[in-house]
Chains A and B, each alone.
Chain A
Amino acid sequence: MPVNAADTAWLLISSALVMLMTPGVALFYGGMVRRKNILSTIMMSFAILALVGLLWVLYGYSLSFGADNGGLIGGLDYIFLRGVGQEPSPVYATTVPHLAFMIFQAMFAIITVALITGAVVERMKFSSLLVFSVLWLTFVYCPVAHWVWGNGGWLAKLGALDFAGGTVVHINAGISALALAWLLGPRKGFREKQPMEPSNIPMVAFGAGLLWFGWFGFNAGSALTAGGLASSAFVATNTSAAAAAFTWMVLSWIYRRPTVLGIATGVVAGLVAITPAAGFVSPMMGIPIGVGAAVVCYYCMLLRMRRGIDESLDVWAVHGMGGTWGALATGIFASVAVNSAGADGLLLGNAMQVLKQLAGIAVVWIFAFGATWVLCKLVDVTMGLRVTTIEETVGLDISQHGERAYGGMLR
């Protein structure tokens, strides 16, 4: 197929939009930690932008999208971008240069690894995080991306729908975060209920704004063409974000006061939940999906806190459970009238689709938790996961990076 200029322009812009989400995560997470750990939290996302940006062109893309091996993993044919050029791929996004599809996918891999860092802030050793990131990308992200999106991937063949990454990105990151936080243990003072006060909520709001903006590339870009489907996914995305943000604000208000931290969290929950559904449901379905996302994530977060688990920035509650709800909701609200490549959902009389979605959810839950546990143990016994107690007390900004966010006595 010849290269389509409009599709190419849209996919390149979308790639840039998704790239901006990772600095968005840096600010979103950075503002929620204590003052002494802001930089270390931001650094995690930026280091992953650099690290995964390299690994992806070296071998990550090939493992995910290379020639299929039994539905489980891609081959090494695209290693070092061999054969990935200006001509379209014969099977992926056939109207744009193969390079454009490759870099679009790179941004997804980067943000997925960055999302996990919310679980480990304020206590994980930086060098261990880097090693863990390499292992996790290679042994968890690449296989799951191949299963769901790769040509011949076994979950795709099963018929589980995932438009823009509800399972590959959000469930995968959320469940892995839970396993990682579990092995890492809580922050010093967490069990004693010391206040872990967010140091910069305006920064959280700015990060959430960048995420909302970038998510249009994430979801509408996943149409891989510039046209009706991209527009439909765009509107569904905005509608779900708005519905979830508003719902979270109301829940917070019922509890006591409507908070900025709450509405910013609601935005992200709504965006997560619409991700697998965006191009398979009619845009108005963004409302029930968004409202459901806020309710599910809000109560999962409360549950997590009551259980005393220090999964610090709630990657499990927002991405794991928001993604689970979204994947399930795709099976409920999907319609072939929106996307002929999709399927009808429960509301249109196809209960089977819900079962297929549940199968996809279960597989990623189990694999992500188990594989992350093993990789994490490996890093723990070889180099240790945590900083020392004194390094943690001083703060990771100084102990891991030798700088501080707000320096200088003199104005």
Chain B
Amino acid sequence: MKKIEAIIREEKLDAVRAALRDSGYLGMTVSEVSGHGRQGGLTLQWRVGEYKVDFLPKLKVELVVLDEDVPKTLNAITSAARTGEMGDGKIFVLPVEDAVRVRTGEGGENAI
């Protein structure tokens, strides 16, 4: 099992969710995060003039997939979330020790 953590643009959530559903993954956890990579900050206006905010709003999509599904999931997220501009985000893949489905108590791969 691997955990996929994808930082994506806010406006790409629907596309990413649809692509993951097509790859057979219905569940995920989404959170609002802020951060920055190489992309510059956001310039906002005050009463007069403007100020810069370094951290931009992004969404973090988390889900756990079977080892053999990692390539196709990464592919699905990448193609759905890409615009080609800076700020498209990043995806991290982490090993997962175990998982438990709370309702049934099932463990391991059966739980995901």
Stretch at the interface among A46-54, A214-222, A258-266: A258-266
Determine chain B's interface SS by DSSP, over half rule.
Answer: strand
In the assembled complex, A406 has its CB within 8 A of some CB on chain B: no
User: Nearest-CB distance from A262 to chain B (Å)?
Assistant: 6
Contacts of B51 in A (CB 8 A): 193, 195-197
User: Nearest-CB distance from B92 to chain A (Å)?
Assistant: 26
0/1 per residue, A265-307, Cβ < 8 Å to B? 1000000000000000000000000000000001001100100
Contacts of B45 in A (CB 8 A): 252, 255-257, 259, 261-262
User: Nearest-CB distance from B31 to chain A (Å)?
Assistant: 13
The reply to whether B47 and A314 contact each other, CB–CB distance below 8 Å, is yes
In the assembled complex, B86 has its CB within 8 A of some CB on chain A: no
The reply to whether A261 and B49 contact each other, CB–CB distance below 8 Å, is no
Q: Which residue of B lies closest to A269 (CB)?
A: B47
- Residues facing A in B6-59 (CB within 8 A) are 44-54
User: Nearest-CB distance from A342 to chain B (Å)?
Assistant: 33
User: Nearest-CB distance from B41 to chain A (Å)?
Assistant: 9
Q: Which residue of B lies closest to A298 (CB)?
A: B48
User: Nearest-CB distance from A251 to chain B (Å)?
Assistant: 8
Contacts of B53 in A (CB 8 A): 195, 197
Bound CA–CA A410/B50 (angstroms): 35
Q: Which residue of B lies closest to A303 (CB)?
A: B48
Bound CA–CA A256/B44 (angstroms): 10
Q: Which residue of B lies closest to A304 (CB)?
A: B48
The reply to whether A302 and B49 contact each other, CB–CB distance below 8 Å, is yes
User: Nearest-CB distance from A198 to chain B (Å)?
Assistant: 8
- Residues facing B in A178-237 (CB within 8 A) are 193, 195-198
User: Nearest-CB distance from B51 to chain A (Å)?
Assistant: 5
The reply to whether B48 and A301 contact each other, CB–CB distance below 8 Å, is yes
Bound CA–CA A255/B49 (angstroms): 8
The reply to whether A261 and B50 contact each other, CB–CB distance below 8 Å, is no
The reply to whether B49 and A195 contact each other, CB–CB distance below 8 Å, is no
Contacts of B49 in A (CB 8 A): 255, 302, 305
User: Nearest-CB distance from B28 to chain A (Å)?
Assistant: 20
16 A-B Cβ contacts within 8 A? Answer: A195-B44, A195-B51, A196-B51, A197-B44, A198-B46, A251-B48, A255-B45, A257-B45, A259-B47, A261-B45, A261-B46, A262-B45, A262-B48, A301-B47, A305-B49, A314-B47
Contacts A262-B45, A265-B47 aside, 17 further interface pairs with beta carbons under 8 A come to A193-B51, A195-B44, A195-B52, A195-B53, A195-B54, A251-B48, A252-B48, A255-B49, A256-B50, A257-B45, A261-B45, A261-B46, A262-B48, A298-B48, A301-B47, A302-B48, A314-B47
A-B pairs, 6 with minimum CB distance:
A265-B47, A301-B48, A195-B51, A259-B45, A302-B48, A261-B47
